[in-house]
Amino acid sequence: MELAPRWSSLDELIAAHPRLRLDLGCGWVKEPGHVGLDDLRGVGGLAGQSADDGRGPDVFLDLNADRYPFADGSVEEVRSRHFLEHSLLDHVFDEAYRILRPGGRFVAIVPYANSADGMAPGHSVFLTERFFELNPNFQAKFDITRITYRQSDEWLRWPRLVRRLIPYDWARTHLFNVCKEMRVEAVRRPDPHSSSVR
C-alpha cells in the first residue's frame, strides 16, 4: 500500500473524511467526497487528468489481492464505477463486507454484459442483474435494495413507436446493446456470527 503524496499518514486521510466513503478503482476521476483506491502506480492520467488535482487515488494498492487498510466496520459506503468487471469479485466483496458498517451501502455501476461496453476487451467477468441476484457470496453479504439501468444511445435511436411496442425490460434481456450500464445498490447484511443484545 502507498498513499498519495498529499497525505502524510493513513490517520490523516481518515481524519479528513469523518464520513468514510470509498471509491474503488477510481482512476483519475474519483467521486467527490470519497477516498479513492486504485493501483495506478506509474500510470499517468489522460489529457486533463493529473495526480495533483485531488481527483486521483488517495491510496494505491492491489484491490484484487491486498487487504484494504481500514478497520472492520468503519466505512459508510463503498462504491465503484466500471471497476468490478476487471476484478476478482470474491476478494472485493469480502473486503467491502469487512470494512462496511452494518447497513453500510455498496454501490456498483457496471457495463451491462449484453452490450458493446459490457463485452469490451479486458473485462474478466460479464455482469447482469442475475449475477448479483444469484451469486452466493454476494447474497450472503449484501441485500440488494435497488437496480437501475441506463439505456444505450443505440436503443434511444430506435423509432419511438418501436420502443413503445417492445418493453424495455424485455429488450434489455433479449436484445444486444439496449442497456449501456447497470447500477446495483445494496446494504451490508448483519454478521450472522455476531451476538445480538437481548
Global confidence as pTM: 0.89
Q: Would you say residue 198 has pLDDT above 50?
A: no
Q: 135-178 pLDDT, tens per residue?
A: 999 999 999 999 999 999 999 999 999 999 999 999 999 999 99
**Burial environment of residue 149 by CB neighbours within 10 A (0 to 12, 13 to 18, 19 or more):** middle
Q: What does pLDDT average to over the chain?
A: 91
Q: For residues 75-104, b (16+ Cβ closer than 10 Å) or e, as one string?
A: bebbbbbbbbbebebebbbebbbbbbeeeb
Query: For residues 43 and 100, which has the higher predicted lDDT (pLDDT)?
Result: 100
Backbone angles phi, psi at 149, to 5 degrees: -130, 145
Backbone angles phi, psi at 85, to 5 degrees: -70, -10
Q: How far is CA 6 from CA 46, 54, 55, in A?
A: 20, 8, 12
- Distant-in-sequence, close-in-space partners of 145: CB < 8 Å, separation ≥ 6: 185, 186, 187
For the chain, state the CA radius of gyration: 18
Q: How far apart are CA 47 and CA 65, in angstroms?
A: 29
- 22 has which bridge partners? 35, 78
Q: Would you say residue 96 has pLDDT above 70?
A: yes
Q: How far apart are CA 33 and CA 52, in angstroms?
A: 16
DSSP 8-state code for residue 162 = H
3-state secondary structure of 69: coil
Domain extents for the chain?
Answer: 2-188
**Backbone dihedral region for residue 157 (phi beyond 0: left; psi -120 to 50: alpha; all else: beta):** alpha
Q: How far apart are CA 130 and CA 118, in angstroms?
A: 14
pLDDT-derived band of residue 122, with 50, 70 and 90 as boundaries? confident
pLDDT average, residue stretch 173-192 = 94
Question: What number does CATH give the domain 2-188?
Answer: 3.40.50.150
Q: How far apart are CA 26 and CA 56, in angstroms?
A: 7
Q: Would you say residue 103 has pLDDT above 90?
A: yes
Q: How far apart are CA 177 and CA 116, in angstroms?
A: 6
Q: 21-54 pLDDT, tens per residue?
A: 999 999 888 999 999 999 876 555 555 555 566 7
